[in-house]
């Protein structure tokens, strides 16, 4: 499998770089592919607002710049971020997300990206990655499911695969709910992202629970994983993410289980947010992968 990085790990609060500088920097570190967000490049002139992480319109100059940079650096785009709050209590926000997704899916196809990533969403009005006490209600599930179904219709027309992941703060917050969503949607165009750090809820991030938690996720997801994320989580009572190999995620086990499943997708490192630490994270994962052979 190829090893890549999320372009959002380079979003450090400063103005985003031009596409050629972003892709050149990623290739210089040694990554082989990238999960790309349009917010990561200057040409998009777009800042996520906490509800919608998809530009209202994909600017042609942004699409062209990203495509040229990816080709020049021989850095394939494994996936494009298509995250918006699919469970937002405001119907109009959900509808706007679907509208924006149509253009984003077309852009992903133009970049040669086979996967667009999703966020199942939350009833939190301000932040699609923040929890809400209403996330466990059937009403929240119904709104999320309707949004996913409409988005899947768009993906089917373009031959793009959508991928969702379990997130402790979202409606889909367990492997079982992820399996339920895939079963209820019933489309080969909806698959899973395996992000082992996201499998731990508050109070559950314990090193001794890592192996069983990861193995259970593999049992639930089966062969439906199309993308893996290399984020890590610190041991503790809360949820505190960190760079690959600095927390409790059992990455050697993850590598072995991916290999045993015949996983044909890419491993995308995430949660590092420090280019200076990325060579270490990359070397760590490659060592785990080598031991899985």
> What confidence tens digit (pLDDT) does each residue in 241-250 have?
999 999 999 9
Q: What is the mean pLDDT of residues 7-19?
A: 91
User: Which residues sit opposite 5 in a β-bridge?
Assistant: 34, 269
Q: Give CA–CA dist 170/119, Å, rounded.
A: 8
Q: What is the DSSP letter of 234?
A: -
Q: Is 146 helix (H, G, I), strand (E, B) or coil?
A: helix
Q: How far is CA 145 from the centre of its chain?
A: 19
Count helices and strands in the chain by DSSP H and E runs: 8, 10
Can you give the pLDDT at residue 180?
Answer: 97
Model confidence band, residue 229 (pLDDT cutoffs 50, 70, 90): very high
Overall pTM > 0.85? yes
How many other C-beta atoms can be found within 10 angstroms of the C-beta atom of residue 136? Answer: 12
Can you give the pLDDT at residue 103?
Answer: 97
Q: Give CA–CA dist 45/171, Å, rounded.
A: 30
CA distances from 5 to 77, 137, 203, 215 (A): 10, 34, 28, 24
Residue whose C-alpha is closest to residue 254's, from 222, 285, 233: 285
Can you give the pLDDT at residue 293?
Answer: 77
Judged on CB neighbours under 10 Å (0-12, 13-18, 19+), 150 is: middle
Model confidence band, residue 267 (pLDDT cutoffs 50, 70, 90): very high
Can you give the pLDDT at residue 36?
Answer: 98
Given a cut of 80, is residue 13 above it in pLDDT? no
How many other C-beta atoms can be found within 10 angstroms of the C-beta atom of residue 84? Answer: 26
Q: Which helix (H) or strand (E) holds 5?
A: strand 3-6
Q: What is the mean pLDDT of residues 213-232?
A: 96
Helix axes 60-72, 19-29, angle to 10 degrees: 30
Q: What is the mean pLDDT of residues 62-70?
A: 98
What DSSP string runs through 273-285? --GGGHHHHHHHH
Tell me: the pLDDT tens digits for 108-133? Answer: 999 999 999 999 999 999 999 999 99
Can you give the pLDDT at residue 182?
Answer: 97
Q: What is the mean pLDDT of residues 174-188?
A: 97
Domains of the chain: 3-193+223-232+267-279 (3.20.20.150)
Residue whose C-alpha is closest to residue 289's, from 273, 260, 29, 276: 260
CA atoms within 13 A on the CB side of 118: 37
Tell me: the pLDDT tens digits for 42-52? Answer: 999 999 999 99
Can you give the pLDDT at residue 96?
Answer: 98
Q: Give CA–CA dist 39/100, Å, rounded.
A: 14
User: Mean pLDDT score of the chain, rounded to an integer?
Assistant: 96
Q: Give CA–CA dist 163/291, Å, rounded.
A: 28
Q: Give CA–CA dist 123/47, Å, rounded.
A: 21
Q: Which helix (H) or strand (E) holds 214?
A: helix 210-221
């Amino acid at each position: 499998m190829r090893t890549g990085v999320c372009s959002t790990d380079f979003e450090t609060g400063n103005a985003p770089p031009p596409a050629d500088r972003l892709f050149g920097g990623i290739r210089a570190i040694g990554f082989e592919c990238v999960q790309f967000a349009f917010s990561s490049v200057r040409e998009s002139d777009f800042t996520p607002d906490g509800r919608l992480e998809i530009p209202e319109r994909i600017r042609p100059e942004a699409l062209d710049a990203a495509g040229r940079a990816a080709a020049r650096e021989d850095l394939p785009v494994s996936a494009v971020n298509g995250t918006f709050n699919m469970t937002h209590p405001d119907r109009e926000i959900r509808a706007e997300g679907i509208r924006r997704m149509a253009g984003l899916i077309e852009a992903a196809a133009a970049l040669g990206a086979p996967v667009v990533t999703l966020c199942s969403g939350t009833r939190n009005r301000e932040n699609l990655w923040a929890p809400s006490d209403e996330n466990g209600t059937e009403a929240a599930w119904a709104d999320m499911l309707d949004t996913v179904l409409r988005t899947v219709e768009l993906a089917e027309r373009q031959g793009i695969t959508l991928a969702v992941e379990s997130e402790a703060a979202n409606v889909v917050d367990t492997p079982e709910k992820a399996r339920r969503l895939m079963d209820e949607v019933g489309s080969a165009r909806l698959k899973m992202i395996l992000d082992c750090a996201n499998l731990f809820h508050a109070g559950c991030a314990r090193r001794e629970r890592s192996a069983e938690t990861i193995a259970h996720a593999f049992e639930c997801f089966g062969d439906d994983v199309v993308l893996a994320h290399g984020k890590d989580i610190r041991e503790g009572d809360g949820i505190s993410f960190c760079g690959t190999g600095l927390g409790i995620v059992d990455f050697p086990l993850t590598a072995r289980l991916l290999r045993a499943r015949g996983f044909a997708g890419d491993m995308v490192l995430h949660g590092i947010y420090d280019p200076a630490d990325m060579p270490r994270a990359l070397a760590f994962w490659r060592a785990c992968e080598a031991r899985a052979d």
